[in-house]
Amino acid sequence: MASLVGASLVHNGNEVHLIDEHGKLLHVSKHDVNKPNPNGKGVMPAEKSGWVAYAYWYNTGSFPISSFTTDWTVPRNPKTNHGQTLFLFNSIEPATGTAILQPVLQWGPSAAGGGAYWTVASWYVTGNTAYHTGLVRVQVGQHLRGVIVLTGSAGGRYNYASYFSNVPRTTLLLRNSPQLVWATETLETYNVVGDTDYPTGSTVFSNIFLKTTRGVPAVTWTPINDPPDKLFTTINRQGASNARVTIRYPRLF
């Protein structure tokens, strides 16, 4: 685990190098480029721990995703605290499903820290290694905009940035990456005991804008639900421009 302050991540063969702002190598981790997708199609199964409710779009076109932005609001605090961790984010992954770049809203503890409060950070996870910016505390009702942008490409490798546009110190830079093709809007959870470990109501991912280097693509979002745990994903508005996805929690009030 490494925290990023003024640094960037660089893919180098089957390794990921953490480089500081002066070009000094800080850390090296392995990147398993041959690891298969969870089910061969880039879709992770819904389960009580992990990705429990989400929507996805897989870019099968010839033009890479150049920007992916999403708005949402920090939910109410869960009624109970059992050491659970809740993650809400938009993200993109490579075709192999072995890595993920994401601006993340977090409740509870994680490898980045945190506790019984809401925080944000940008993450890049590859193999068994997670890199992240420092956690920044946010408040219930605060508006967030998660942004992932393509900043350059050459020779079939791609540079990206992930950040919250309205929260300082959340920018994570990724260089020389495989193309990131799988876009998601996701609720990910760990150590949830019961319904009251979630906020009430729902989280609405709104103003979803997704572009490729050619322009605005035709996008159809696919919802994944977790009915046994009463978590449901609704596509309120399809498309790549001003799309809207709602994830509903078990308790409405």
* Residue 91: inside a domain: yes
* Residue 135: inside a domain: yes
Q: Which residue has the higher pLDDT, 56 or 48?
A: 56
9 DSSP 8-state letter: E
What does the angle CA 211 – CA 214 – CA 218 come to, to the nearest 5 degrees? 55
* Residue 115: inside a domain: yes
What pLDDT, on the 0 to 100 scale, is given for residue 117? 98
* Residue 73: inside a domain: yes
pLDDT digits (tens, 9 = 90+) for 136-178: 999 999 999 999 999 999 999 999 999 999 999 999 999 999 9
What pLDDT, on the 0 to 100 scale, is given for residue 128? 86
Residues of the chain with pLDDT > 90, as a percent, come to 79
* Residue 125: inside a domain: yes
Residue 135's domain comprises: 2-44+51-248
| Residues 94 and 177 sit within 8 Å (Cβ to Cβ) | yes
Residues of the chain with pLDDT > 70, as a percent, come to 81
* Residue 34: inside a domain: yes
Please state, in angstroms and rounded to a whole number, the distance separating the CA atoms of residues 97 and 132. 19
What pLDDT, on the 0 to 100 scale, is given for residue 7? 66
SS3 for 102? strand
* Residue 131: inside a domain: yes
pLDDT at 45 over 60: no
The reported pTM is: 0.86
What pLDDT, on the 0 to 100 scale, is given for residue 34? 35
Residue 217 buriedness (CB in 10 A; 0-12 / 13-18 / 19+)? middle
What pLDDT, on the 0 to 100 scale, is given for residue 35? 34
Q: How many distinct structural domains can be found in the chain?
A: 1
pLDDT at 23 over 80: no
Tokens for 14?
Answer: 């089957």
* Residue 253: inside a domain: no
What mean pLDDT is reported for the chain?
88
What pLDDT, on the 0 to 100 scale, is given for residue 27? 54
CATH number of the domain encompassing residue 214: 2.60.120
